[in-house]
Amino acid sequence: MEESTGGSNLRWWILLTVIVGTFLGRLDQTIVNLALPKIIDEFGISVSAAGWIATAYIIANAVFVPIWGKLGDTIGRKKVYILGFSIFILGSVLAGLAWNLSSMIVFRVIQAIAGSADYPTAMAIIAVTFKEGKERAQALGIWSSSFAAAIVFGPLLGGPLIDTFGWRSVFLINLPIGLLGIYMALRFINESRSENKTVFFDWWGAATLGGMLSALVLVLDKGSDWGWLSVWSVGCYVSIVVLLWLFIRIEQHFPEPIVDLKFFKIPAFVNALINNFVVFMGMMGGVFLIPVFAQTFLGYNATESGYLFIPMAAALMLAAPIGGMLTGRVQSRYVIFASTLVAAIGIYMFTGLDPRSTAFDIMLPLGVMAFGLGFGMAQRTNIIASVVPQNEIGIASSILALVRNIAGAFGIAIFATILNNRVASNVLSINSFSKLYSHNPIDIQKYIALISLKAQIDAYNYVFLVASVIIFVGSFTILFLKLEKERTDIQVHVE
């Protein structure tokens, strides 16, 4: 039987349902970072140790995305969506009751494993619910904007929650919202699955991919602390290469691989992934520095820093539907090219920041960047859904999620390293061209402080410049995209 919501409002309720799940899952990733100082104080742990709360979540989330995508296509997307959502709520409540670092890490891993089910199943549910190409692109754009908006609203909601109810509230708030999301999923979502039934699940492929991603995320997150050429980092590099080789060999010979490598023979698929990687690497690598800059040099607190992102949220939610409406009217590659250029301009506008900058000087570039990112979101996501077989949309979307997560990790790791190295080189450079004609200790302290301030400001501006150049260059990669007429007659088995 075909999915029958095409002519009714039910499909928009389905979209709202998956938006609730996506928003909650992504919100959790950002909101918890605000709670770390309180957690550190209560558990009596170091900042380095607290970093594992985030690292463990990122690793577990990355590892299980493709597994959930395959399971959703196989046993039913609605089943997997509700299962993942339910376990996520359980993990959230447990994390809210954590009593030490070890228990917190275990419960965060449970959260991450469950939370990784959302992206591939939600995208597949939308793709099979909205069959008509233009409408599907619009729906995917609206959904994608909720993904990015959650990143923005994390600081806005997290600050008041923590200040009023304590750090445990950022986990426990997931319970009532999650129960609402489960009710909506049970009420509105129709079951769908791939027509191809899996006989043997690719556990070896899942294990080698999971190990490779764990090593990759771990070295990206900890490489700066360990040293990029340390024994630990080199061990991760070797593990990545060996496990990647094993994974490719397994996927080439397994009859039902967890990641179908034939996707990478589709030029449009590869091109869309490359553009996504470049955009998210530049965006995440540059934007993660904004709250740090605002709190360090402008004197903002965490809640005030969060308010700076309000225009970003508004621009994303405004631009995403516009991008969806452009489907069929303007070629996807030109829309994505223009959106990427606008995002690059937004990032470049940060290069003028200094301690005299106002809130507007941060809000305007964020809004420009978000608008550019937003109206290309629907096109990027829709390309992935259009060029792969319908029965493997879940797997393809999980690859897209992986690319975005890895790109963000790459961007943060690379730009943090660039920032640190640039500060050190700037200190030496500025000092070599500076003179102090005083032996007064107070003057000497001011001299050192000014050099340090100048070195750091110039380093931030340099990182924003590099990020904008990366996104600018990446915008041209999408012009090589050649997309055949979009498929709009998706058929899906429905219970």
Residue 440 maps to which CATH number? 1.20.1250.20
Q: Is the pLDDT of residue 425 over 50?
A: yes
User: Quick one: average pLDDT of 402-422?
Assistant: 78
* Co-location of 328 and 388 in the same domain: yes
User: Quick one: average pLDDT of 250-270?
Assistant: 80
**4 in a domain, yes or no?**
no
* Co-location of 352 and 405 in the same domain: yes
Q: Is the pLDDT of residue 351 over 60?
A: yes
Task: Give the pLDDT confidence score for residue 334 in this predicted structure.
Answer: 86
Domain range for residue 233? 202-255
**2 in a domain, yes or no?**
no
Q: Is the pLDDT of residue 490 over 60?
A: no
* Co-location of 120 and 212 in the same domain: no
To 5 degrees, how large is the angle CA 408–CA 105–CA 394? 50
* Co-location of 211 and 268 in the same domain: no
pTM: predicted TM-score of the whole model, two decimal places: 0.71
Average pLDDT, the chain: 79
> Which is more confidently placed, 400 or 431?
400
**5 in a domain, yes or no?**
no
The 10s digit of each residue's pLDDT in 77-110 is: 888 889 988 999 999 999 999 998 889 988 988 9
**1 in a domain, yes or no?**
no
Backbone angles phi, psi at 493, to 5 degrees: -75, 130
Task: Give the pLDDT confidence score for residue 341 in this predicted structure.
Answer: 92
% pLDDT > 90, the chain: 10
Q: Is the pLDDT of residue 119 over 80?
A: no
Burial of residue 437, with CB atoms counted within 10 A of its CB: 0-12 exposed, 13-18 middle, 19 or more buried: exposed
444, 309 Cβ separation under 8 angstroms = no
* Co-location of 217 and 172 in the same domain: no
Maximal CA-CA distance, the chain: 86
* Co-location of 294 and 148 in the same domain: yes
* Co-location of 366 and 383 in the same domain: yes
Query: Count of domains in the chain?
Result: 2
Task: Give the pLDDT confidence score for residue 198 in this predicted structure.
Answer: 57
Residues near 326 by Cβ (< 8 Å), separated by ≥ 6? 335, 375, 379
